[in-house]
Amino acid sequence: MPGPTSSRLAYIDWMRGLACVLMFQTHCYDAWLGGDARKSTFFMWSQLGGTLPAPLFLFLLGISVALVVDKLRQRDIPAGQIARATIRRGAEIFALGLLFRLQEYTLAWGWASWIDLFRVDILNTLGISMMLLGLFCWCSLPLFRPPQVRIGLGTGAAVVGLTISLLSPLLWTSWRPRWLPWPLESYIDGVHNLGKPQPWLFPIFPWTAFAFIGLAAGLFLVSDWAKENGAAAIALGAFGGLLIYFAKWLDARPEQLYAVYDFWHTSPNFFLIRVGLLLLILAAAYAWCQWGAGQWGFSPLIQLGQTSLLVYWVHIEFVYGRFSILHKRAQDIPMASLGLLVIFFSMLLLSAWRTHWKGRTANSAK
């Protein structure tokens, strides 16, 4: 979802738009497919693709914060002011997440449980992640002199991200903060009210780690070396490939650090693999937008990426909610695919309208 920046890089918006499309297909097939279609290989791959949107949104949030922090720092804005602006924007996103849950509960009045109001969804985590990034910058920026700020801040962000990943298996098992009320504990480990962590929620551990890695990657992209070497994103992609190989090698070792090993949900090895994939996608998006057809005229993905919060908010009700355009858990693959196309083009039109309206409002204000 968009960070607090008006100066956009096309390939960042393209990646955010890709996350929107992957999110659409995951939600549509999950909501609408029924019967044997839910047991098909097609559905399996659809849901596997659904593991990417949340890491993408969080990773890109970190990159957006890095771009803004670096821009404000070069204007000699004090560290406290930079951090407060970042924390304030994160609080706004968190408040929107709470409002979204209230909206969904109200629209589903009569059959939704009040417990859903406390669900830790992706918007909540985006807001908390941004506030934590702001707090990290507040504490870290004064520690480095100007020539070392990007390196120091980026290195620190990467260390925090890895630390969050390493702590996640423990905080989901033996170190669970059971002494907290479950609505608060759920922000740590996603326990909800079900007695154990739930993989369909987005707690701080491990999800916020992707935002800190995004902050580190963004600071690398604005470094002096990156500005002198236009293909810095390609270098990150190459590093991502090596990271995937290293993580798979680690996972094949017989030694284990944790008593309970959950590869798909809390494993630091799987986290590194997903970070590697994010860096590869970043490199591919850069190449596509820089040398490919990514910016040949109108780009649907760039357009969606510029209004990702809006299309996320709206599409949920027409897929999962009371106003779902198809009967849930009752469709075959062709019909669900047709519904996906309707959602895609509807959200694209909504996004284009929002951009046009925002442009007219800005021009009339001048």
**What pTM value is reported for the model?**
0.94
Q: What does the pLDDT profile of the chain (366 residues) look like in tens digits?
A: 444 333 348 999 999 999 999 999 999 999 999 999 999 999 999 999 999 999 999 999 999 999 999 999 999 899 999 999 999 999 999 999 999 999 999 988 878 889 999 999 999 999 999 999 999 999 999 999 888 899 999 999 999 999 999 999 999 999 999 999 999 999 999 999 999 999 999 999 999 999 999 999 999 999 988 888 778 899 999 999 999 999 999 999 988 889 888 999 999 999 999 999 999 999 999 999 988 777 788 899 999 999 999 999 999 999 999 899 999 999 999 999 999 999 999 999 999 999 989 877 766 766
Of 88, 89, 82, 84, the residue nearest 68 (C-alpha)? 82
Cβ–Cβ under 8 Å, residues 189 and 203: yes
| pLDDT value, residue 240 | 97
Q: pLDDT digit string (tens) for 184-223?
A: 999 999 999 999 999 999 999 999 999 999 999 999 999 9
Q: pLDDT digit string (tens) for 328-341?
A: 999 999 999 999 99
| pLDDT value, residue 113 | 87
Cβ–Cβ under 8 Å, residues 316 and 104: yes
Q: What is the Cα–Cα distance from 24 to 316, expressed in whole angstroms?
A: 9
| Phi and psi at residue 68, to the nearest 5° | -70, -45
Of 103, 118, 96, the residue nearest 186 (C-alpha)? 118
| pLDDT value, residue 7 | 36
| pLDDT value, residue 365 | 65
- Count the helices and strands in the chain (H runs, E runs): 14, 0
Q: pLDDT digit string (tens) for 272-281?
A: 999 999 999 9
The domain locations on the chain are: 1-50+301-361, 59-228
**Element at 182 (helix H, strand E):** helix 182-189
Degrees (nearest 5) of the Cα angle 198, 200, 204?
75
| Phi and psi at residue 123, to the nearest 5° | -65, -40
In DSSP notation, 208-250 reads: HHHHHHHHHHHHHHTSHHHHHSTTHHHHHHHHHHHHHHHHHHH
